[in-house]
């Protein structure tokens, strides 16, 4: 059972009671992420704040926060995306009061002590270095920078060495003041939790001043066609090839889910079978959808030896072209529907995943979407729906290729990579 309450200050509280679970997952979701940062002086500050909220409050030290959640066998963590930031805890149901108190304390009473700012700055600089040393992670940031060129969606969530080095506690507090408004906050909980009991625990959040929603408005990005090469002495050529995708609320989003499943999600997908199983050209090859409020992308990743990289790229392009030119056989579409539905239903055995789904459906649709509604929409997708969506999305005007490794000799450019 899903229940929703809106506080007078605008915070939305959504919970799902799952009595057979012993756990509760609760998250505070803020509709503010790296997309909403100013180009100068704020790149990566959302992620920086996410780190700093665990580094001490007026009541607790950073060590005290860590020891308190560990002492009940729970998890306390956070993550930043391009459009939101989430602070969450997962605990046994009897420890929910402690988890809520911790979340309220770090969100409303963090002190941003100078010494903690300096320590965490170094941690994040090491995190940036770690990504730079991990090519199969870095390639995705390089791709999105090229795909959403000159737009906030193309910036790395973590920021840059220069931006992170400039942050101060005062700047972080000012950003919180401008962006963490109750009207942009959702608190979601799932597990063995009673909604009325949860509301009583959340009374401290009602004290947040209503104010206005964040002052930064979103601009709609435009993707651009490009081939970018990043020369590095690596054993493999890492590549991302992508084109336009779907937004969270796209009317054909269910066709998009299944199209991506067919293309590169799982061992039976077309890309995996053709590139890895049939030809042995790559160990890792997959596709994914990256959806945002008003736009999205579909991206294929692969890692291959330098001499075979062009062949892999041509095979990826051929599979994209095939989706926009040939109807998917009915039994293949049915198998993709079963694959997607099965993974989705298995994910709901976790209170954390259920909490996340509650928050995201509220963020994007303003309501809970029943499981059966989603499953029914997937079952309604036809081969013509896939063909139509692929025809709309797979356009040379937005086709972007990013390569990293020993790439100077890969015989490809923007003129030879085409879906027409």
Give the Å distances, CA to CA, from 244 to 177, 223, 362, 392: 35, 8, 25, 9
Are 161 and 241 found together in one domain? no
Give the Å distances, CA to CA, from 68 to 53, 58, 91, 204: 15, 15, 12, 19
Handedness of CA 82, 83, 85, 89 (dihedral sign): negative
Among the residue ranges 138-152, 173-187, 247-261, 400-414, the one predicted with the least confidence is 400-414
The structural domain count of the chain equals 2
Residues 142-168 pLDDT 10s: 999 999 988 999 999 999 999 999 999
Structural tokens at position 266: 């799982």
Annotate 262-317 with DSSP letters as a single string.
HHHSSTTSHHIIIIIIIT---S-EEEEEEE-SS-EEEEEEEEE-GGGHHHHHHHHH
Strand order in the sheet with 12-17: 2-6, 12-17, 185-191, 23-30, 85-92, 75-80
Among the residue ranges 53-62, 209-218, 233-242, 281-290, the one predicted with the least confidence is 209-218
Are 145 and 13 found together in one domain? yes
Which residues belong to the active site?
Answer: 50
Residue with tokens 């029914």: 376
Residues 268-282 pLDDT 10s: 999 999 999 999 999
Structural tokens at position 367: 């309501």
Q: Could you tell me the pLDDT band of residue 211, with boundaries at 50, 70 and 90?
A: low
Are 115 and 251 found together in one domain? no
Tell me what the pLDDT averaged over the chain comes to. 94
CATH assignment at residue 100: 3.30.830.10
Pairing of strands 185-191, 12-17: parallel
Residue percentage of the chain with pLDDT more than 90: 89
285 forms beta bridges with: 302
Q: How far apart are CA 302 and CA 270, in angstroms?
A: 13
Are 9 and 155 found together in one domain? yes
Residue percentage of the chain with pLDDT more than 70: 97
Residue with tokens 């999205």: 296
Among the residue ranges 215-224, 260-269, 312-321, 391-400, the one predicted with the least confidence is 215-224
Cβ density class 111-141: b for 16+ within 10 Å, e for less? bbeeebbeebbeebbeebeeeeeebeebbbb
User: Residue 13 pLDDT > 70, yes or no?
Assistant: yes
User: Residue 410 pLDDT > 90, yes or no?
Assistant: no
Residues 170-193 pLDDT 10s: 999 999 999 999 999 999 999 999
Q: Could you tell me the pLDDT band of residue 364, with boundaries at 50, 70 and 90?
A: very high
**Domain ranges, residue 173:** 2-206
Structural tokens at position 273: 């079978």
Is this prediction's pTM over 0.85? Answer: yes
Identify the pLDDT of residue 409: 82
Residue 48, C-beta contacts closer than 8 angstroms, at least 6 positions apart: 120, 121, 124, 159, 164, 167, 172
User: Residue 415 pLDDT > 70, yes or no?
Assistant: no
Among the residue ranges 7-16, 55-64, 146-155, the one predicted with the least confidence is 146-155
Are 178 and 273 found together in one domain? no
Q: Could you tell me the pLDDT band of residue 209, with boundaries at 50, 70 and 90?
A: confident
User: Residue 414 pLDDT > 60, yes or no?
Assistant: no
Q: Could you tell me the pLDDT band of residue 413, with boundaries at 50, 70 and 90?
A: low
Identify the pLDDT of residue 347: 96
Residue with tokens 């503010």: 32
Decide if 276 contacts 269 (C-beta within 8 A). Answer: no
Task: Determine, yes or no, domain membership for 221.
Answer: no
Are 247 and 150 found together in one domain? no
Identify the pLDDT of residue 56: 96
Identify the pLDDT of residue 416: 67
Task: Determine, yes or no, domain membership for 219.
Answer: no
Task: Determine, yes or no, domain membership for 416.
Answer: no
Annotate 64-118 with DSSP letters as a single string.
HHHHHHHTTT-EEEEEE-SS-EEEEEEEEGGGHHHHHHHHHHHHHHB---HHHHH
Are 181 and 230 found together in one domain? no
3 state SS of 159: coil
Are 164 and 288 found together in one domain? no
A 10 A CB-CB count for 276 gives 18
Identify the pLDDT of residue 140: 97
Task: Determine, yes or no, domain membership for 131.
Answer: yes
Decide if 189 contacts 355 (C-beta within 8 A). Answer: yes
């Amino acid at each position: 059972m899903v229940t929703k309450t809106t506080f007078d200050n605008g915070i939305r509280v959504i919970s799902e009671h799952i009595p057979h679970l012993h756990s509760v997952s609760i998250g505070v979701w803020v509709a503010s992420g790296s997309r909403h940062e100013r180009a100068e002086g704020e790149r990566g500050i959302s992620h920086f704040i996410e780190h700093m909220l665990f580094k001490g409050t007026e009541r607790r030290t950073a060590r005290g926060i860590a020891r308190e959640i560990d002492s009940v066998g729970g998890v306390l963590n956070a993550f930043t995306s391009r459009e939101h930031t989430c602070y969450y805890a997962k605990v046994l149901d009897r420890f929910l009061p402690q988890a809520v108190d911790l979340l309220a304390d770090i969100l409303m009473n963090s002190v941003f002590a100078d010494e903690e700012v300096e320590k965490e700055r170094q941690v994040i600089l090491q995190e940036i270095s770690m990504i730079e040393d991990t090519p199969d992670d870095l390639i995705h940031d390089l791709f999105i920078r090229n795909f959403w060129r000159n737009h906030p969606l193309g910036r790395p969530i973590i920021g840059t060495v220069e931006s992170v080095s400039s942050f101060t506690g005062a700047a972080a507090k000012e950003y919180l003041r401008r962006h963490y408004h109750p009207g942009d906050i959702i608190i979601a909980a799932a597990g063995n939790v009673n909604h009325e009991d949860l509301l009583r625990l959340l009374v401290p959040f009602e004290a947040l001043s209503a104010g206005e929603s964040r002052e930064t408005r979103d601009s709609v990005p435009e993707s651009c066609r490009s081939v970018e090469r990043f020369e590095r002495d690596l054993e493999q050529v890492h590549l991302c090839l992508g084109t336009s995708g779907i937004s969270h609320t796209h009317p054909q989003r269910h066709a998009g889910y299944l199209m991506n499943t067919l293309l590169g999600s799982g061992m039976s997908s077309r890309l995996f079978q053709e590139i890895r199983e049939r030809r042995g050209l790559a160990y890792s090859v997959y596709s994914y959808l990256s959806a945002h409020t008003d736009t999205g992308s579909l991206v294929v990743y692969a890692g291959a030896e330098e001499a075979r990289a062009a062949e892999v790229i041509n095979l990826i392009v051929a599979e994209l072209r095939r989706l926009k030119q040939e109807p998917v056989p009915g039994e293949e579409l049915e198998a993709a529907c079963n694959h997607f539905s099965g993974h989705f239903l298995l994910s709901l055995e976790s209170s954390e995943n259920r909490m996340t789904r509650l928050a995201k459906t509220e963020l994007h649709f303003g309501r809970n979407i029943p499981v059966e509604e989603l499953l029914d929409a997937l079952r309604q997708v036809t081969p013509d729906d896939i063909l139509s969506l692929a025809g709309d999305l797979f356009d040379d005007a937005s086709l972007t290729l990013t390569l990293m490794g020993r790439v100077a000799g890969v015989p490809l450019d923007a003129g030879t990579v085409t879906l027409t």
